[in-house]
Amino acid sequence: MTHAEPTATREPVHTRALIIGTGFSGLGMAIALQKRGVDFVILEKAGDIGGTWRDNSYPGCACDIPSHLYSFSFEPKPDWRNPFSYQPEIWDYLKGVTDKYGLRRYIVFNSLVDRGHWDDEENRWHVFTADGREYVAQFLISGAGALHIPSFPDIEGRDEFAGPAFHSAEWDHSVDLTGKRVAIIGTGASAIQIVPEIVGQVAELQLYQRTPPWVVPRSNPDLPLALRRAMANVPGLRALTRLGIYWAQEALAFGMTKRPNALKFIEAYCKYNIRRSVKDRELRRKLTPHYRIGCKRILNSSTYYGAVADPKTQLITEGISRITTDGIVTADGREHKADVIVYATGFHVTDSYTYVQIKGRHGEDLVDRWNREGIGAHRGITVADVPNLFFLLGPNTGLGHNSVVFMIESQIHYVADAIKTCDKMGAQALAPTREAQDAFNAELQEKLSHSVWNSGGCSSWYLDEHGKNTVLWGGYTWQYWRATRGGKPEEYRFFGVRRRHKDLSLTGEA
């Protein structure tokens, strides 16, 4: 077994599979390879495991998918403390999984992957970290995910602010917000969790909103101990609960992907919730969206509107002109004095796929290709003419209605099957054909064109600058599960084939 630790002489570390990241994707992939006896090393940019659930530690941080579904199917946790788990418990869950499967010995921490190139002669990846270490692997698997590079708005004077200023994903816990004037820029998934948590602590809360989100009421009480014990001890109860949650979430896909108008009844409920939570008519107007629900990410909170209606809170909808040393100037010329600025402004989603310089066959730069053609992959996992490169939560595999952990497990199965297929036919590498990849994405984009994300009348991070949806899956998750049960050999080219298996009709390249 190859040791994860690089040698003192910085000789290249050789392994069969190189995994990037230690979130749900990277850890799940590692466990699958471990079970199959495939040698691997994991490179992690930070000093501990956890991915987005390590980085996002802001007040109130929680998952918006029920706990029993937002966890590995093969590693259930029966005693979740809340219906929707908070960040510390999810991070503890991931650390527990890491320790149970002994994965830390495979992880090289503080190792930011900088670049990688495919060697056509060797049929191997040469991958380099930012500090110059080299890893040589047959298979390169990116579990970096899409939500790990914080996005800051391009606002004049942003660096001039004299007080503490940080992104929600890089929360500065050394800053005491008590009695402070706090400005939160953004009203997305992070902001609606932060605002109710801090409004009682601060002297003044300025909430800068560009577009109001749709917010569905959701309570998140502590689960009774008796119920948690029943989940652990009653045979089949936990599995049945998970199954029920899955199909309840899956039902939303009909409206989101096929009949957006079917979502109107949820809009009506949300508008009713605004009316009952916010007495001020003008504030209600500012908080009411004018696009179809689901077009942007649907948010969940039973406390957000009450916190916005709090006398301490000022909802500011004028655009931001610039930031000064001690505040924020809006388009109406007014300066709002602030002591702390929090950027709840999301992530660079597409940069998550392109921050590593990847060169495939014949030295072709993948980022250059994607800049020309747009981001795309076959089944969101493999890329034409880039052998043995696999993305977990790659292009068009995000969700607007269900658990991405379900998608991750489907992709892990697909990658493991691809490695098995290479071994079965004596091939060194595989990559999808252009024809297969183009056909898959053409069909997917056609389905997405009718979805609420493309036609709901909003501008969202789901769509690129050309209006193409490169983020989300365009159907039911069970359809993706079915499509990833195994690779279709006719969709792939194989390289370095030493022998041809009699049962496989494949295109091979020596």
Q: What is the pTM of this model?
A: 0.93
CATH superfamily label, 165-230+259-343:
FAD/NAD(P)-binding domain (3.50.50.60)
- What's the pLDDT band for 347 if we cut at 50, 70, 90? confident
Q: Assess whether pLDDT exceeds 50 at residue 7.
A: no
Phi-psi region of 388 (alpha: psi -120 to 50; beta: other; left: phi over 0): left
Examine the pLDDT at 368 and tell me if it is beyond 60: yes
Of 444, 454, 418, 351, whose CA–CA distance to 145 is shortest? 351
Q: What is the average per-residue pLDDT within 102-126?
A: 97
Confidence of residue 8 (pLDDT cuts 50, 70, 90): very low
Per-chain mean pLDDT for the chain:
93
pLDDT over threshold 90, residue 3? no
Query: Residue 181: beta bridge partners?
Result: 204
320 with 480: CB under 8 angstroms? no
CATH 3.50.50.60 domain span(s) along the chain: 13-49+103-149+349-495, 165-230+259-343
**pLDDT of the residue at 9:** 52
3-state secondary structure 354-415: HCCEEECHHHCEHHHHHHHHCCCCECCCEECCECCEEECCCCCCECCCCCHHHHHHHHHHHH
pLDDT at residue 1, as a whole number:
46
The answer to whether 41 and 4 are in contact (CB under 8 A) is yes
Summarised one tens digit per residue, pLDDT across range 15-59 is: 999 999 999 999 999 999 999 999 999 999 999 999 999 999 999
CA distance 33 to 43: 15
pLDDT at 499: 58
Is residue 352's pLDDT more than 70? no
Residue 256 has pLDDT above 80, yes or no: yes
Report the distance separating Cα 443 and Cα 11, nearest Å: 45
Class of domain 13-49+103-149+349-495: alpha beta
Quick check: 223 pLDDT over 90? Answer: yes
Instruction: Tell which residue, 496, 485, 492, 505, has the closest CA to residue 423.
Output: 496
Q: Which residues contact 183 (CB under 8 A, 6 or more apart)?
A: 206, 208, 327, 328, 336, 338, 340, 341, 342
